[in-house]
A and B are shown apart, each in its own frame.
Chain A
């Protein structure tokens, strides 16, 4: 309800009123000192003038005095609750703190008292978009258009609002009207071109393909749409949808423009009724003919040849792959294996490739102590060995792969790819120390190459050599950053944060691990914030299609594997903290370090702290009159060890918050459902917990992790002292028996599961864990676990490591026995080595120079 008149507390006599106007002008021009002075003059006489207090608070915030500023603004609002200026300022501050919900509330209040204020309306529109309040957005954009219909953006913004709220028909009407009345569009105008492409897209999304095509064609002809690639892509798609005979030509044109784009080949074949993902004997011949013609027309493009390999079978495949593989090995293309890897799903093709590659190798092989015969290209020989090594390792034949690599290395010790891949194979067989060492060798061959450097750092992290990894990364991070870790985090390196978090977790350093996982979550928060400025920007630039795509991408942002992994891992740590609060006070694991290493670590930590403090000092010494803007800026790191984070209250609530996006974005992720269960059941949200189990059951009813949790749920449910609500009891009583029959005892259920899956290592471990939870004697649990070593049990490295961790957790005296047995079973691994050997293994990972005959040769290369 608009106020009847200006309230007495707001009105100022003419002198102060003029001063207030000056305050507003000074603020707009960011002359902060002058604005502050003028505001203080007013406040001397009128200390309770809400609007002046708010403006002063706003100016102080800009000067970096944020807490003071916020206090004044809050005061000012309280003193003048019907002032649109006060609410607008409050909204600005809240927006700067990224508190969008509250900011929108403030803006909405401001609009109550000045409903046609364009600035407030525009800011409100941006907030409504950010918060996905699309219906309200339509209203706001309508108002803005009504107030200023001469501004082109206002038309487009309204169309966008309609589009977002799902009303494509209205969006279309707005654009039609806009195009009718717009004047003075210059020739070849990029902005108009984008508007028209947006219009075409709306028509396509409405299914009005003929209309879309008509608009597209006439605009292309009149050169009002000037994005050639977009025109051609739209055209081809629309013509295909209309089943027009012109479609073929349209796809052809796209391929001519870019013969390396797979989508175009898919399109042209789909247009002929050929589905590349479902080739039949009928369609195969035609597809191969089309692809063959293209490979002739575009001899430099790999795409038609490569797609043909997917399509062809039998002898035809053999002929094609032979020339394809041979030419690439002769050219020395490192990626030929990853290129062909997708074909390996077909066993026949896999075997054909293997025999061809070996035949090629045989024809190139020559004695290693004699010089290479002239008829043989030594490079081809090495690349063939490299290819075959990748081939065999991919199929689990790691020893064979290592043999091939060693032959290649003896022949050409200067090729980094060989060292890199040898490291990768060692990683696969469970020797992270050897892996790190070999990858470091690769790095030393080309110190200018950041790719090799990144790999080396990653492999060191995998080996638990955290400080050494950061040291290596530091060779390429900014020298003026507080630390290499800080630079990588500032530049949003998810790879670094994930790998270090995982490494810290493996070492039992929960605080540091949690800190890094939360760091990843923060980066995704930043990604979510990044879109905000574009709500205004993209409308001004008229690049609507990609803007809409960006909003869609933002809506599923946290489905990204890096977020999912971090959220799940962090939640596991927080659950552990809930279950056993003593972990928060356990010091970081140092047992793997020698005394000298511990000392060096302490020294390095001190030095790093000093650098951090120095840089902080530098930052705050800046002039206080500079405009620091409204954005709150990154908070100082007052928790370098992560202990505060680990000890913070309500771990389960924090975990739930991290996991929340996953329940809608990653419905097919088993791990996510287990993480959600673990948190929900401890928060006593039994329906949510049961629902998670149901989702997991749908995905994999025999999952070992599911089995553990089904028993866990039943146990907790049966022993509840506080009766839950009747509605909850009803649901659980009807659903739970589908996961675990009522009449069966937990012990029996567990032994039935064990029997059903007695040849699966992971299942046996799960059954053992359940036994323990049901208080079976330790010897019995151990006996169960040791069954995994039997010859007929399928036991992979990852599960063996998990079993070892479990034996450690239950403080089993048989752990060393298990480790020894695993060392025998996984010959090439180093993860089962006796604990005393670990410091030596760590040192070996950092040793430069390969310990074999190539040693002296290597040193020559490096110097």
Chain B
């Protein structure tokens, strides 16, 4: 029974554990606390029997350039391998985006993805409608390039 719901403080350790298992980009718990206590509406979890099997850790971009509109940013999103094919990533992303648009009036949401990560690229581009804005060379700690992707949220404006 996987349930999708807003992330709570007691979920953060589970999100951190999920992240450590799945991705090489990791963060200390304080960074998760910072997200949750600054933008409590934006992070969501997929939970089964108290265990976090997937999450989206999101924020609003803090350094907004002059004239630029407010926009959301996905810091990290991941689902345990054993829980794939359920559309969890998509559902997590959609819930987060709704909140970005409604609460913070975000015009668009951005994220970074490894050039070689075909599965993620497929999810963001084909399933969710993100487009590639830029290539950021050497973005990742191991030197790999990132696609900076973007999705407009104007359709969610109320």
Return the chain A residue nearest B95 by Cβ. A258
Is the CB–CB distance between B82 and A338 below 8 Å? yes
Closest-CB distance, B117 to chain A (whole angstroms): 8
Please indicate which of the listed interface residues A190, A262, A332, A451 has the most CB atoms of chain B within 10 Å of its own CB. A451
Is the CB–CB distance between A546 and B37 below 8 Å? yes
Residues on B with beta carbons closer than 8 Å to the beta carbon of A334: 81-85
Residues on A with beta carbons closer than 8 Å to the beta carbon of B127: none
Is the CB–CB distance between A492 and B29 below 8 Å? yes
Residues on B with beta carbons closer than 8 Å to the beta carbon of A338: 48, 82
Residues on A with beta carbons closer than 8 Å to the beta carbon of B21: 450-451, 454, 495
Question: Which of these, A193, A229, A479, A491, contacts B28 with CB under 8 Å?
Answer: A491
Per the CB 8 Å criterion, the residue count for chain A at the interface is 64
Q: How large is the interface on B (under 10, 10 to 19, 20 to 34, 35 or more residues)?
A: 35 or more
Is the CB–CB distance between A547 and B102 below 8 Å? no
Q: Is A263 an interface residue when CB atoms closer than 8 A count as contact?
A: yes
Interface segment, one of B12-20, B61-69, B128-136, B145-153? B12-20
Closest-CB distance, B139 to chain A (whole angstroms): 15
Interface segment, one of A17-25, A507-515, A537-545, A737-745? A537-545
Given contacts A306-B1, A332-B85, A491-B26, contact A230 B41 (CB under 8 A): yes
Q: Is A809 an interface residue when CB atoms closer than 8 A count as contact?
A: no
Closest-CB distance, A423 to chain B (whole angstroms): 13
Alpha-carbon gap, A69 to B53, bound state (A): 47
Residues on A with beta carbons closer than 8 Å to the beta carbon of B80: 451
Is the CB–CB distance between B86 and A302 below 8 Å? yes
Q: Is A493 an interface residue when CB atoms closer than 8 A count as contact?
A: yes
Is the CB–CB distance between B23 and A450 below 8 Å? yes
Alpha-carbon gap, A338 to B48, bound state (A): 9
Secondary structure dominating the interface of A = helix
Alpha-carbon gap, A332 to B40, bound state (A): 35
Please indicate which of the listed interface residues A260, A452, A488, A495 has the most CB atoms of chain B within 10 Å of its own CB. A260
Return the chain A residue nearest B41 by Cβ. A227
CB 8 Å contact bits of A493-533 with B (1 = contact, 0 = none): 11100000000000000000000000000000011001101
Is the CB–CB distance between B37 and A260 below 8 Å? no
Is the CB–CB distance between B86 and A335 below 8 Å? yes
Alpha-carbon gap, A661 to B60, bound state (A): 37
Interface of chain A residues 290 through 337 with chain B (CB within 8 A): 300, 302-303, 306-307, 331-335
Is the CB–CB distance between A543 and B91 below 8 Å? no
Residues on B with beta carbons closer than 8 Å to the beta carbon of A550: 9, 33, 36-37
Alpha-carbon gap, A538 to B35, bound state (A): 11
Residues on B with beta carbons closer than 8 Å to the beta carbon of A538: 37
Q: Is A92 an interface residue when CB atoms closer than 8 A count as contact?
A: no
| Besides the known contacts A226-B102, A331-B85, A492-B16, 7 further A-B residue pairs in the complex with CB atoms under 8 A apart | A302-B2, A303-B3, A451-B81, A477-B24, A491-B20, A494-B13, A530-B29
A residues bordering B, Cβ < 8 Å? 188, 190, 193, 226-230, 257-258, 260-263, 300, 302-303, 306-307, 331-335, 338-339, 342, 416-417, 448-452, 454, 476-479, 488, 490-495, 526-527, 530-531, 533-534, 537-538, 541, 543, 545-547, 549-550, 552-553, 560
A-B contact pairs, 27 of them (CB 8 A): A190-B103, A226-B102, A227-B41, A227-B103, A261-B3, A303-B3, A306-B1, A333-B86, A335-B48, A335-B82, A335-B86, A417-B82, A450-B21, A450-B23, A451-B80, A451-B82, A454-B20, A454-B21, A479-B141, A526-B28, A526-B29, A527-B13, A531-B33, A534-B33, A546-B37, A550-B37, A553-B9
5 closest Cβ pairs, A-B complex: A260-B4, A262-B3, A451-B81, A546-B40, A491-B26
